[in-house]
Structure 1
Amino acid sequence: MAKLEEIETEEHQKAIIISKRKRTKKKYSIIIPTYNERLNIALVIYLVFKHLQDIDFEVVIVDDGSPDGTQDIIKQLQNVYGDDLILLRARPKKLGLGTAYYHGLKHASGDFIIIMDADLSHHPKYLPNFIRKQMETGASIVTGTRYVRNGGVHGWNLVRKLTSRGANVLAQTLLWPGVSDLTGSFRLYERTAFEDVVSSCVSKGYVFQMEMIVRASRKGYHIEAVPITFVDRVYGSSKLGGSEIVEYLKGLFYLLFTT
């Protein structure tokens, strides 16, 4: 009888531990905006699932009316992985990057929000590093950076590298945000921090990422960084053009005088 009571007590203690683990386990919502990413999105999703096998997560895909059949591929992915893990939240047309994240946030259920690109420039193998860094430091934001040791860029020509580096140096000089990569869009946010910062942003396009991290810095959020290697897209065409560079400069000076 004594042994039976000991076994029952031991099982009860195990149940308490498991219950506590379930209550403390965090969920991650990965928001991926897409436009004409039919050739990339399936591989991105495969790699996300490969590298987050022991993580509770969902993928919220915000497609802005892609005419290339991106949504058809996403629906096929839902058949494979389940529509509870792959959420398609489409919009009728391109409405800006900032509003895409805000739209995705409304449909996300995670404790943490991860934002990343759909063109394979952000390799999902880095996702565990983001999660680990947040858990170790308690940071509200973890941002991927190309401009530290073990980070870098592959696939860009010299002009593109100089443009990106120059944009960051200029922003560092004028804004002093304390972050080495202002224009990157591979980040992890505590949900409450994301909701707070995104609601104060006014940018919609390329400058949105810079505004997010600058406003987060001004608000005093704890920001950490992990090195990443950015790889230029293999399939499809870049969304960055001359108009985005002009918008970046305008947004830079807007932030200089308003934050």
Structure 2
Amino acid sequence: MADDDKYSVLLPTYNERENLPVIIWLLVKYFNESGYKYEIIVIDDGSPDKTLEVAKQLQKIYGSDKIVLRPREKKLGLGTAYIHGIKHATGNFVIIMDADLSHHPKFIPEFIKKQKEGDLDLVSGTRYIGSGGVAGWDFKRKLIRYRHNVAEEFINQNIIKMGAPNVTGSFRLYKKDVLQKLVNSCISKGYVFQMEMIIRARQFGFTIGEVPITFVDRVYGESKLGGSEIVQFFKGLMYLFATT
């Protein structure tokens, strides 16, 4: 790979004012230590907790070349946040991750190393291989994870037969053009969107690598996965099964 590779991190946010300073500090730390060129694109969807104001302060600290703010007026969904972010990404690689500290930036150099070893189209973080796992989950999160496990097994057996990947994972590295094609081809929204991205990637024949990660439950703020989100997840899953 060329030495001038650049990595654009897409950070969709909604009510993450406590977590944003920490996740950005960690991202800057690990990118600076590894020497890779980067930018962090914050896509805030009109957070009422004034996440955007915090992001503006962080931009003053780290510079507008490193912290790029591309806010929207209201919450419009994960898939559209990626579409919005890609339009402003100047890197030839794009990293998508959560802003709630559940995805630790320390794994990003491992993602990059894995991608470079095989010139892979995308690399996904997974809790299911090697040293991967979870930490700090309460009963609610474990119940949600169980339901997701059932959904993933259903997809593996009936749709893509991938051999148990982390299809619901949202910590991934993509070649920018690959991500653009996948986003353009997806019809799902919300949490099912991540599943469809992997399904489409398999259909297109893109090469996929996996890196073990530890998923940590959020420290600040409330989970976005309420009862209505779980219902929408399974409705979306059934629609995805019917259309792929």
TM bucket, shorter chain: over 0.9
Does residue 253 of structure 1 match 2:238? yes
Shift of 1:177: 5.0
Structure of higher RCO (CA pairs closer than 8 Å, 6+ residues apart): 2
- Cα distance in 1 for partners of 2:145, 2:231 equals 17
Please provide the CA RMSD for this pair.
1.5
Shift of 1:172: 1.8
Report the TM-score, using the length of structure 1 for normalisation: 0.88
1:86 equivalent in structure 2: 67
- Cα distance in 2 for partners of 1:203, 1:161 equals 20
Please give the secondary structure, in 2, of the residue aligned with 1:180: coil
Q: Unpaired segments of 5 or more residues in structure 1?
A: 1-20
2:151 equivalent in structure 1: 167
Does residue 197 of structure 1 match 2:182? yes
- Cα distance in 1 for partners of 2:206, 2:184 equals 15
Shift of 1:125: 0.4
- Equivalent of residue 154 in structure 1, options 110, 117, 135: 135
Please give the secondary structure, in 2, of the residue aligned with 1:71: helix
- Cα distance in 1 for partners of 2:233, 2:243 equals 15
CA contact (8 A) 1:154 1:231 kept: yes
Q: Unpaired segments of 5 or more residues in structure 2?
A: none
CA contact (8 A) 1:177 1:218 kept: no
CA contact (8 A) 1:29 1:114 kept: yes
CA contact (8 A) 2:160 2:202 kept: no
- Larger mean Cα displacement after TM superposition, 163-172 or 188-197: 163-172
- Cα distance in 1 for partners of 2:206, 2:89 equals 22
Letter in 1 for 2:80: T
Aligned positions, number? 238
- Cα distance in 1 for partners of 2:170, 2:8 equals 15
Does residue 233 of structure 1 match 2:212? no
Please give the secondary structure, in 2, of the residue aligned with 1:62: strand
Please give the secondary structure, in 1, of the residue aligned with 2:18: coil
Deviations 1:153-181 (A, max 9, x none): 11222423322322222222222252511
Does residue 208 of structure 1 match 2:193? yes
- Cα distance in 2 for partners of 1:110, 1:74 equals 20
Deviations 1:123-146 (A, max 9, x none): 000000110000011110100111
1:10 equivalent in structure 2: none
2:111 equivalent in structure 1: 130
Structure with higher Rg: it is 1
Shift of 1:24: 4.0
- Cα distance in 2 for partners of 1:72, 1:25 equals 32
Does residue 184 of structure 1 match 2:165? no
CA contact (8 A) 2:188 2:240 kept: no
Shift of 1:255: 2.7
Identical counterparts, % of pairs: 54
Shift of 1:253: 2.7
Letter in 1 for 2:219: V
Shift of 1:106: 0.5
Letter in 2 for 1:211: E
Deviations 1:151-210 (A, max 9, x none): 111122242332232222222222225251111100000011001000011112111101
Deviations 1:102-134 (A, max 9, x none): 100011101001000000000000000110000
